[in-house]
């Protein structure tokens, strides 16, 4: 019986899909720390997490039965992807499924901050009637600066233009500008023209500390700032100073350098209590629609990898799109990418009298992945011989 462990309140569809595929599924509501996770993974073949559970090298090295790992979110910086690959643990995420949800919350926050709805709301709850247009503006005609022009940034660009905003963007790699968006040559150039700056960068280590006192100082007086990407990319103390000094007109922050692991835990931040600042608990992609789509997408990827060996959209293994085997058995051989591996695999099969019905090979950096369909039962000794190859990382036989 294959066992799956799903953490952090994943959508019920994930459990349904895996159980229908024959998995024994255990679910837990919160994240686990390193030691807890090591204990929980004893005998587990499939792990599903979101952003709060860190899958370290120590965790992976302590989980020999783990076959595949799913991040039911966009980011994978909470996972040691290199170690996972070295141990043959195929890892998948959900790169597109919550894009619309993040775009919509970003637009809602831009409008709320521009109209200073945060201040008016707080005053009303305090019993103060302040019917005034002072400090409130339309978003139409204002310039939105998008840092990170990927799936979220591009869709936000299109929708913001439909509201009458002018869009400028900065991306470290070449990206096609959509609509009337303007590509800026540097981050500094973008900061000088944007009335609203929103970050949509990925979780690579190079983005740590991307935005600090220098960048806030370069922004236009009264400009607004949003971060719905990663908590470690901004200096929150510098943002606090920029707000309190009046240099920035407001901010909305959804991600933080340190976040509570479980719902209901205490939240501490030097951004609490600031005027015209929206703080949300990492819910940019947390709509029921997005979570259902993510649960379905990632669970299907994990199921397909276990049953067919398909690695399409894996973030750490060579990608092969595979259907159900057409033969009697399928041999999935993950190996170190050195010359002659494919010939060695085929020579081993030939020596054991195995007839190949179909074969596919893909490589990715230091790893190669060859999947072979055979037309007869595996003879004794063939799997042992393949597993004993110096280059073998992981060998799986799928009936």
| Statement to judge: residues 37 and 69 lie in one domain | yes
- Taking each helix axis from N to C terminus, what angle separates 99-114 and 288-308, rounded to the nearest 10 degrees? 160
Catalytic residue (choose from 104, 259, 292, 357):
259
Which of 279, 297, 331 is the C-terminal boundary of a domain?
Answer: 279
What pLDDT score does 264 carry? 85
Pairwise CA distance, residues 55 & 130, whole Å: 50
Q: How far is CA 139 from CA 107, 113, 171, 197, in A?
A: 10, 10, 23, 13
Pairwise CA distance, residues 89 & 78, whole Å: 15
| Statement to judge: residues 173 and 197 lie in one domain | yes
Q: What is the DSSP string of 319-380?
A: -----S-SSSEEEEEEEE--TTHHHHHHHHHHHTTPPEEEEEEEEETTEEEEEEEESSPPPT
Pairwise CA distance, residues 144 & 151, whole Å: 16
Q: What is the sign, positive or negative, of the torsion defined by CA atoms of 276, 204, 210, 175?
A: negative
| Statement to judge: residues 140 and 59 lie in one domain | no
CATH number at residue 50: 3.40.50.720
| Statement to judge: residues 126 and 206 lie in one domain | yes
What pLDDT score does 176 carry? 92
| Statement to judge: residues 107 and 212 lie in one domain | yes
Number of domains composing the chain:
3
| Statement to judge: residues 128 and 243 lie in one domain | yes
| Statement to judge: residues 4 and 51 lie in one domain | yes
Q: Which structural domain, as residue segments, surrounds residue 301? A: 1-98+288-317
CATH number at residue 383: 3.30.70.260
Which of 279, 308, 342 is the C-terminal boundary of a domain?
Answer: 279
| Statement to judge: residues 309 and 378 lie in one domain | no
Please name the residues in contact with 58: beta carbons below 8 A apart, sequence gap of 6 or more.
34, 38
| Statement to judge: residues 182 and 157 lie in one domain | yes
- Tell me which residues of the chain have a pLDDT lower than 50: none
| Statement to judge: residues 274 and 325 lie in one domain | no
Catalytic residue (choose from 230, 240, 330, 333):
230
Nearest Cα residue to 73 out of 232, 229, 251: 229
What pLDDT score does 299 carry? 98
| Statement to judge: residues 87 and 4 lie in one domain | yes
| Statement to judge: residues 142 and 166 lie in one domain | yes
Catalytic residue (choose from 87, 240, 282, 394):
282
Judge whether 171 and 153 are in contact, CB under 8 Å.
Answer: yes
What pLDDT score does 137 carry? 96
| Annotation marks residue 230 as catalytic | yes
| Annotation marks residue 45 as catalytic | no
């Amino acid at each position: 019986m294959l066992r799956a462990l799903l953490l952090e309140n994943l959508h019920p569809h994930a459990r349904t899909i895996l159980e229908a595929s024959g998995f024994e599924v255990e679910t837990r509501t919160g994240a686990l720390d390193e030691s807890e996770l090591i204990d929980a993974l004893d005998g587990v073949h499939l792990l599903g997490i979101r952003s709060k559970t860190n899958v370290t090298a120590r965790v992976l090295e302590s989980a020999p039965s783990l076959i595949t790992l799913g991040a039911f979110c966009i980011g994978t910086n909470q996972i040691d992807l290199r170690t996972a690959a070295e141990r043959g643990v195929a890892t998948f995420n959900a790169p597109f499924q919550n894009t619309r949800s993040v775009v919509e919350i970003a637009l809602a926050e831009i409008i709320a901050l521009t109209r200073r709805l945060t201040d008016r709301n707080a005053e009303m709850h305090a019993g103060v009637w302040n019917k005034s247009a002072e400090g409130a503006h339309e978003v139409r005609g204002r310039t939105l600066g998008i840092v990170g022009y990927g799936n979220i940034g591009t869709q936000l660009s299109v929708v913001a233009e439909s509201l009458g905003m002018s869009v400028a963007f900065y991306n470290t790699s070449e990206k096609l500008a959509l609509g009337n968006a303007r590509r800026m040559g540097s981050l500094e150039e973008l900061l000088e023209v944007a009335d609203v700056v929103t970050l949509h960068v990925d979780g690579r280590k190079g983005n740590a500390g991307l935005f600090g006192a220098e960048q806030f100082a370069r922004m236009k007086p009264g400009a607004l700032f949003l971060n719905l990407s990663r908590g470690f990319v901004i200096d929150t103390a510098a943002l606090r100073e920029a707000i309190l000094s009046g240099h920035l007109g407001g901010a909305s922050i959804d991600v933080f350098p340190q976040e509570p692991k479980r719902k209901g835990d205490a939240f501490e931040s030097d951004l609490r209590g600031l005027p015209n600042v929206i703080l949300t608990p990492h819910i940019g992609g947390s709509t029921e629609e997005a979570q259902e789509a993510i649960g379905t997408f990632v669970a299907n990827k994990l199921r397909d990898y276990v049953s067919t060996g398909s690695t399409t959209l894996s973030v750490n293994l060579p990608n092969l799109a595979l259907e159900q085997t057409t033969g009697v058995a399928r041999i999935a051989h993950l190996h170190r990418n050195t010359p002659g591996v494919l010939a060695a695999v085929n020579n081993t099969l030939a020596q054991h009298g195995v007839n190949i019905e179909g074969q596919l090979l893909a490589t990715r950096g230091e790893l190669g992945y060859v999947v072979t369909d055979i037309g007869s039962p595996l003879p004794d000794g063939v799997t042992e011989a393949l597993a004993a190859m110096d280059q073998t990382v992981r060998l799986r036989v799928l009936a």
